[in-house]
Amino acid sequence: MKRKVAVVGLGIGRAHIDEGYSKLPAQWEVAAICDVDPARLAEVGDAFAVACRTASFAEVLGMADIDVVDICTPPSLHREQLLAAMASGKHVVCEKPFVTSLAEMDAIEAAAAAARGTVMPIFQYRWGDGFRRAVRVVRAGLAGKPYNATVETAWRRDKDYYDIAWHGTWAIERGGCLLGHAIHIHDMLQELMGDAASAYANVATRVNAIETEDCAAATLRMASGAVVALSATLGSASEISRMRLHFENVTFESCTEPYAPGNEPWQILPRNAATRAAIDALLADHTPYPIRFEGQFRAYGEALDAGQGPPVVLRDARRSLELITALYGSVAAGAPQTLPLASSHRGYAEWRP
């Protein structure tokens, strides 16, 4: 079935259209765009031939023919826009960070339980065939006990990135490299190794003159007992993302594409011939699927057609925000934080320092 989507916020929202919806014309029509910046509205409207253009979010919610509202505005606006969009009865998609505290997350989850439409957080890095193959191996039980992992986000942000006034601010961006950038690969880590049970971070602001952190080193203990080292910087001369995960039966190493570490080639290195044979048999029918936004929006459309929930769910957003709350909480406390976090945790309503 073909559905009509309205994209709100045309920074990364432009990429949702360019990389995603416009590649899937049998499933999606971008029927409206919304931005308070008239220049962006005109450029994106002209580039993708979208006639319905508005600066009013409320007007989008009142459009009877729109099935899905896709929120791509700065993080501090997500809570209010999510609540209004859910109340309108439409399906809702929202960029990361989904909201900006666990208290907000609880409010969204309560509203979503009563909403007519579905709600899908964006985690487009999950769509890459290397990562998808690794997930299959883990879910089939072939990887065995998780031991240890290293997870790197080595990106580069220069002055031009911070020319966008809200970048690097606690007030609107709500965090630095741990929240805004490493969130994707940390989501991929937890997909493969399960939930974190303890987190401790060191952070620093060394690359640009900003409020939030642009360098971080952290350690996690996972609920399984595995231990993980996280490294994130926005000061890398050349950009990579990379993860290497060691399990009892297999080691996985991702590719290093900074913005698509889920892509092939992934190395899946079995410890012995029997595991190799079992993995080969499992993955014999593996078929490629589109990557990033195209993958997530194709999977979303297919799930809606099948009457299923979206391919990324609220629990996924919550898990990523709980990890952020624990990491920032550990900086404030100077001590590891144990997850899951109770509503009495000092960071529950506000993770900012």
Ligand X SMILES: NC(=O)c1ccc[n+]([C@@H]2O[C@H](COP(=O)([O-])OP(=O)(O)OC[C@H]3O[C@@H](n4cnc5c(N)ncnc54)[C@H](O)[C@@H]3O)[C@@H](O)[C@H]2O)c1
Length of the chain in terms of residues written: 353
x-or-dash string of contact with ligand X, 106-125, rule CB under 6 A: ----------------x-x-
- DSSP secondary structure letters along 100-163: SSHHHHHHHHHHHHH-SS-EEE--GGG-SHHHHHHHHHHHTT-S-SEEEEEEEEEEE--HHHHT
Instruction: Count the residues of the shown chain that bind ligand X, applying the rule CB under 6 A.
Output: 22
Residue 205 pairs in a beta bridge with: none
CB of 12 or CB of 227, closer to ligand X: 12
Q: Is 311 in the site for ligand X (CB under 6 A)?
A: no
CA distances from 47 to 4, 41, 138, 259 (A): 18, 10, 42, 23
Name which of residues 223 to 282 contact ligand X (CB under 6 A).
none
Q: Which stretch binds ligand X (CB under 6 A): 17-25, 33-41, 139-147, 275-283?
A: 33-41
Q: Is 34 in the site for ligand X (CB under 6 A)?
A: yes
Q: What is residue 31's three-state secondary structure?
A: strand
Q: Which stretch binds ligand X (CB under 6 A): 73-81, 138-146, 277-285, 319-327?
A: 73-81
- Among residues 20, 45, 74, 176, the one that binds ligand X under rule CB under 6 A: 74
- Among residues 180, 261, 262, 290, the one that binds ligand X under rule CB under 6 A: 180
- Among residues 5, 6, 7, 8, the one that binds ligand X under rule CB under 6 A: 8
- Among residues 4, 11, 161, 309, the one that binds ligand X under rule CB under 6 A: 11
Q: Which stretch binds ligand X (CB under 6 A): 30-38, 136-144, 282-290, 313-321?
A: 30-38
Q: Is 16 in the site for ligand X (CB under 6 A)?
A: no
CB of 57 or CB of 127, closer to ligand X: 57
- Among residues 42, 47, 110, 164, the one that binds ligand X under rule CB under 6 A: 164
CA-nearest of 208, 235, 51, 243 to 130 is 243
Q: How far apart are CA 233 and CA 289, in angstroms?
A: 30
Q: How far apart are CA 123 and CA 216, in angstroms?
A: 21
CA-nearest of 229, 190, 215, 219 to 330 is 219
Q: How far is the CB of 56 from ligand X (least distance, A)?
A: 8
- Among residues 10, 32, 63, 201, the one that binds ligand X under rule CB under 6 A: 10
User: What letter does residue 77 receive in the DSSP assignment?
Assistant: G
Q: Which residue's CB atom is positioned nearest to ligand X?
A: 11
Q: Is 20 in the site for ligand X (CB under 6 A)?
A: no
Q: How far apart are CA 229 and CA 151, in angstroms?
A: 6
